[in-house]
Every structure is written in structure tokens, then in C-alpha cells.
Amino acid sequence: MELFKLGSKIFKYDTFNDFVHEFKIESTDLIITNQFIYDPIIKESDAKCNVIFQERYGNGEPSDEMINSILNEAKTYDFKRIIAIGGGTVIDIAKILVLKDIVDVKDAFERKVPLIKCKTLIAVPTTCGTGTEVTNISIAEIKSKKTKMGLAVPELFPDAAVLIPEFLRNLPYKFYMYSSIDALIHATESYLSPKANTYTKLYAVKAIETILDIYINMKKFGEEYRFERLEDVLVASNCAGIAFSNTGVGAVHALSYPIGGKYHVPHGLSNYLFFTEIFKLYAKKNPSGTIKELNRILSGILDCDTFEVYDKLEKLLGKLLQKERLSSYGMKEREVEEFAKSVIANQQRLLANNYVPLSDKEIENIYRILL
């Protein structure tokens, strides 16, 4: 029985140029990134190779249409390695670009075509949440299905994950919070997964402790405090990614996908909307299982009793990033049943990782409570 796998080698550099020199970035490489990342750091570096700018093919998170367009541009270049420098969108797109003979990415997500890796992938995260630099998962909105789908196969593991804290200096506060909350949810969902074990819990707990310590100090000293802990939060996000790449994530992600896909709510924010409500339901349904361990860890960090950890966590997060009702993002009452059915139909890969099973009615009720 395999307990743990780390599919990517992990590197850290103080500057982007240090990475360029050690990895010998040259003309046979292809970078995919964003203009706002390229201009302040990459443009003046010694990296001289072709570049694809993701935003030229659409804004927001990846869709099958966006990836197909980028795939067509990538086919015009002769390259051996693809270097993804960006957040989850950029890295998730790059994971599909390393697959051989993909014509329509929808076929890849639906597993209708062979998935064969033919390029080397180097992932450089510029946010502190997705953990995608060390996972075998790519997420995209499938337009025809009006929801997000995930593809999880070994071929999608980046060959190298490269941590460069200087990229986080230009990350706006709102996106820092979206991504770091996403990392916190990765770690907590991983801890409760039926696939969790001693090894994955070590990484999950490290991520939880680090992120919450940063949040507590941000509440005390202000949002600028985050700049003192850029390497810490990047490593925490990486640890959370390592944890959930082995265990998967569950209902928080599953329920967030329909609203994220239809109303283009950023991924970390859409997860945040469901986080504590789902964990409260978990604790109610099975208070004596693994969640008892997690609540003990959280109570120690948050300095509260175990029965109030999710209320205390909600207050802490709310001080740093306000969230609204689902209806504020566009969701309608008539969509409650539709979204619940979409989750059941399309997100079994994630629901299999729930701490406890959730019924159709319980999923509908969560949407109604948060609406």
C-alpha cells in the first residue's frame, strides 16, 4: 500500500535570475506567464526564450476554450521545456500543454484520449495558495457543462517546482488572501480525507500552523505584516499542495465549482464561502473522528475551546477578508437544486475525499444556508 508520493523536485531561489542561470533557460524553452508578472521581473532577466501571455486568450480562470487557443499558439514553437510562471491558472494550463497530440482539451478532461507526457514542465508559483506546482491536478471550466472539472493523472506532475519569494511582493492583498485561504483549505481538507496518513498530516499541520500564525499577526500588526513572511507562506502553500496531492480535497472544493464556474468567482474566494459551514456539518455528523484531532490543533492555535474553533476561525478570516452571501455573487434560489445535482454528477472525484458522506439534501441545504 503506497502511503506517500512527492512527484516533483522542489527548488528555492532568492531571485528569478538565480533560477535562470542554474536551470540554464535558453531559446529551446517556452515560458507561459502574464504580462504583469513578466514586465517587472522576467523582462529584464537573462531568460531569452519565447513567451506566451495567458491573458491574451481571456481573463479569469482557465476554460477549455482558453486552453485550446493557447495550445494552438504553443504548437507554433519548437521547445523542449515549458516554464509556467504564474498562479493556478497559468500552471494548470501548462500542465495540459505537456501532453502529446491534444486537439481539444475537453477530451483530455473527459479521459477520451490517451494522456502521454512529451515535454518537461517547470512550475514557478507567483501566488501562495494553489499548491499546483507539486500536484498532478489541472482544473478548468468546461463551458458546455457550465462547471469546472479536474484532471488528476501522474503525467501532470511538474518535473520541478521552483519557489521564488520575490514574485509575491507584487501580489495584491486581495489575491494574497484568496490564495492563502485556498492553501489553508487544502491543508484542512487533506487532514480530514479518508486517504490521509501520518506523512500527509505532517505537511498539512505545518501549513495550517504557518498560515494561521501569519493571519493572527496580520490582524495584530496590519496587512503589511505579510511582507515579512513571504517565504513562509510560499512554503506553507507548497506543504499544503504536497499533502492534498496525496489525499485529495473534498466537499469545500466540490460545492465551490458550480458557482465559481458560472459566476466566475475566484477559486480561493469561492472555497472560502463554503469552508467553515461544511466543517461545522462534518463536526456535527461525526464529532469523535479525525475532526476531533483537527479541532484540537486549531483550538491551540486560535486559543479557544474546541467547540468554538470554526466560529473563531470565521471571525479571524472575516477581519482579513470580507465575504458575502452566495446571492451577492449572482446565485439564485432556483439554482440550489441545479448546483447540487451538478456537484453529484461531476465532482465524485472530490466527494470521495469527504470526511463523512454528504447526501443530496445536505448539499442543497448548505447552498440554501449560504444563499
Rounded Cα distance between 79 and 214, Å, is 40
> Cβ contacts of residue 59 below 8 Å, gap of 6+?
none
Mean pLDDT throughout 44-71? 92
- Number of structural domains the chain divides into: 2
Q: Are residues 231 and 282 in the same domain?
A: yes
pLDDT in tens, 255-313: 999 999 899 999 999 999 999 999 999 999 999 999 999 999 999 999 999 999 999 99
- Grouping H, G, I as helix, E, B as strand and the rest as coil, residue 121 is strand
Give the span between the Cα atoms of 155 and 175, in whole angstroms: 29
* 127-159 per-position pLDDT tens digit: 999 899 999 999 998 888 777 888 999 999 999
**Considering the chain, what is the average pLDDT of its residues?**
95
My answer on whether 355 and 307 are in the same domain is yes
| Residue 2 covered by a domain | no
Q: Residue 322 belongs to a domain with what CATH number?
A: 1.20.1090.10
pLDDT of residue 218: 98
Longest dimension (CA), the chain: 59
Domain boundary among 117, 132, 167: 167
1 belongs to a structural domain: no
What pLDDT does residue 149 have? 86
- The whole-number average pLDDT for the span 8-36 is 96
Q: Is the pLDDT of residue 351 over 90?
A: yes
Same domain? For 143 and 214 the reply is no
Instruction: Examine the domain organization and report whether 188 and 150 are in the same domain.
Output: no
Domain boundary among 116, 147, 167: 167
Mean pLDDT of 162-184: 96
The predicted structure's pLDDT at residue 304: 97
Task: Answer whether 176's CB lies under 8 Å from 225's CB.
Answer: no
Which grid coordinates belong to 175?
A: 489575491
d(C-alpha 34, C-alpha 50), whole Å: 13
Check if the beta carbon of residue 195 is closer than 8 Å to that of residue 285. no
Q: Which of these three, 167, 201, 232, is where a domain ends?
A: 167
Q: Smallest Cα–Cα separation from 269: which of 126, 58, 61, 125?
A: 61
Give SS3 for 57: helix
- pLDDT band at residue 61 under the 50/70/90 scheme: confident
326 grid coordinates: 452566495
130 and 203 within one domain = no
Q: Is residue 3 part of a domain?
A: no
Range of the domain at 320: 172-370
DSSP class per residue in 146-170: TEEEEEE-GGGS-SEEEE-GGGGGG
